[in-house]
Structure 1
Amino acid sequence: MDQQADIEFAKEDALSVLGRRGFMTLFGASMAGLLMSGNEVEAGLFGSRAPVPGIPDEWTRLKGRDVMSYARYIQGMKLRNVTPYMVIAPHFKKRGSVTNDLPPKSQWRKMKPTLLLVDHMAGNMGAPIKEIVSAYRSPRYNRAVRGKSRSFHMQNVAVDVTFHGASPWRAAAMAKKLRDQGKYKGGVGRYSSFVHVDTRGQNADW
């Protein structure tokens, strides 16, 4: 029996006992309770509804409430060296006429292992993060920046990052060391100005 049918049967039973006026009062209160429960579930998944420090109001105006929800989710990881601002900033980058976007909600949790990795890299090197150059890329934005057609950035499991006081060579070496210790399985790519790390589930180097 579907939910709508259950509601209709509940209405009929309540009308016979309470009368129409009493029923409407009770039914309205019940529906308000259901809506509140839904909000509580969302709060449980993505943290409180309080604003996240450092997230510009302009970002919310441009991309909606999901910006703050994603920021609260990242904040809930309690990372020591990675801030929500660092992670979300690349989602507002533009190449030509194409602007990047937030990852779909279904992919939010996929970023957590990669952010934990970057957090450990910064802590172990004693090198603060300078910039997260790239995190999630929408398919359109990935094409605009000429990313690989199967880039793990589109799966929200990859980050390109730079550190204060640590070269890409040193950062890549730290990522590989943590991988050798069994902390994760994924890719490490060393470029001239940044290091790429991802938690794809299998090891790769370039």
Structure 2
Amino acid sequence: MTNLLTGALRRATGAAMAALMLATGVAAANPFASAGNPLHAIHVHDFDDEHAHLAEEGALDRIHPLVLAALPKGKAYVKYNAPANCVPGRLKAVLSQVSAKYGPITVNSTFRSRSKNRAVGGKSKSYHLSCSAVDFRVHGSSRGLMSYLAANKSLGGLKRYASGFYHIDTGPRRSW
């Protein structure tokens, strides 16, 4: 009986992962896939420079918590809803580490123009103006995430907003 349950759980987890990847456009790296295959690597969605925080839910927000919990730990599921080509490698590395430990994440803000930064209430010297900051949401339990980020020496600014977004940047070490 236990083997039947284990097999069913394994199939459900595989189906849940496939549904998650197809529904969100997020794909786990697959060394056997061809370069033209959209499931070859994590997708990066580039938008114009005016794109900032998304007010509406994303696909990962609508996935049942049990499906999120069934995703295997140790793999990164990162979906960019903002330009990613200018984000420093050390921030991308931290995002992958956070995703592998805490579950799928959505990046909602990277670079902002001065006008968009003003419109969302950003500071005049925001690290978003130079694409040296990232705002993201974790789609799973984020218990302990601020401590985890604070222990990471490659980060500067850290902030958890009441709305559930996290901010990290490459500036000097600070929190507000």
TM range (shorter): 0.5 to 0.7
How many Å apart are 1:51 and its aligned residue? 6.8
Letter in 2 for 1:170: G
Tell me the residue number matched to 1:191.
161
Rounded Cα–Cα distance in structure 2 between residues aligned with 1:90 and 1:146: 18
User: Given the two structures, how large is their TM-score scaled by the length of structure 1?
Assistant: 0.46
Tell me the residue number matched to 1:205.
175
Letter in 2 for 1:194: F
How many Å apart are 1:144 and its aligned residue? 1.6
Rounded Cα–Cα distance in structure 2 between residues aligned with 1:159 and 1:141: 15
Say whether the 8 Å CA contact 2:150–2:158 is kept in structure 1: yes
Rounded Cα–Cα distance in structure 1 between residues aligned with 2:169 and 2:126: 10
C-alpha distance after superposition, 1:153-174 (max 9, x if no partner): 111111111112123x632221
Tell me the residue number matched to 2:104.
128
Q: Which runs of 5+ in 2 are unaligned?
A: 1-34, 50-74
Which of these two proteins has the greater Rg computed from alpha carbons? 1
Rounded Cα–Cα distance in structure 1 between residues aligned with 2:90 and 2:128: 14
SS in 1 for 2:94: helix
Tell me the residue number matched to 2:76.
81
Q: Cα distance 1:191–1:55, how it changes in 2: closer, same or farther (>3 A)?
A: closer
Q: Cα distance 1:190–1:52, how it changes in 2: closer, same or farther (>3 A)?
A: farther
Say whether the 8 Å CA contact 2:158–2:168 is kept in structure 1: yes
Tell me the residue number matched to 2:115.
140
C-alpha distance after superposition, 1:124-164 (max 9, x if no partner): 33x221x2121111112111212111110111111111112
SS in 1 for 2:88: helix
| Number of residue pairs matched by the alignment | 112
Q: Cα distance 1:82–1:140, how it changes in 2: closer, same or farther (>3 A)?
A: farther
More helix by share: 1
Q: Which runs of 5+ in 1 are unaligned?
A: 1-49, 64-79, 92-101
SS in 2 for 1:141: helix
Rounded Cα–Cα distance in structure 1 between residues aligned with 2:96 and 2:139: 14
C-alpha distance after superposition, 1:11-43 (max 9, x if no partner): xxxxxxxxxxxxxxxxxxxxxxxxxxxxxxxxx
Aligned counterpart for 1:158 among listed residues 133, 137, 152? 133
Rounded Cα–Cα distance in structure 2 between residues aligned with 1:141 and 1:188: 21
Aligned counterpart for 2:96 among listed residues 119, 123, 126? 119
Alignment of 1:19-168 (within 5 A): 53=38, 81=76, 83=78, 86-87=79-80, 89-91=81-83, 108=86, 110-125=87-102, 127-129=103-105, 131-167=106-142
Q: Cα distance 1:132–1:52, how it changes in 2: closer, same or farther (>3 A)?
A: farther
Tell me the residue number matched to 2:149.
175
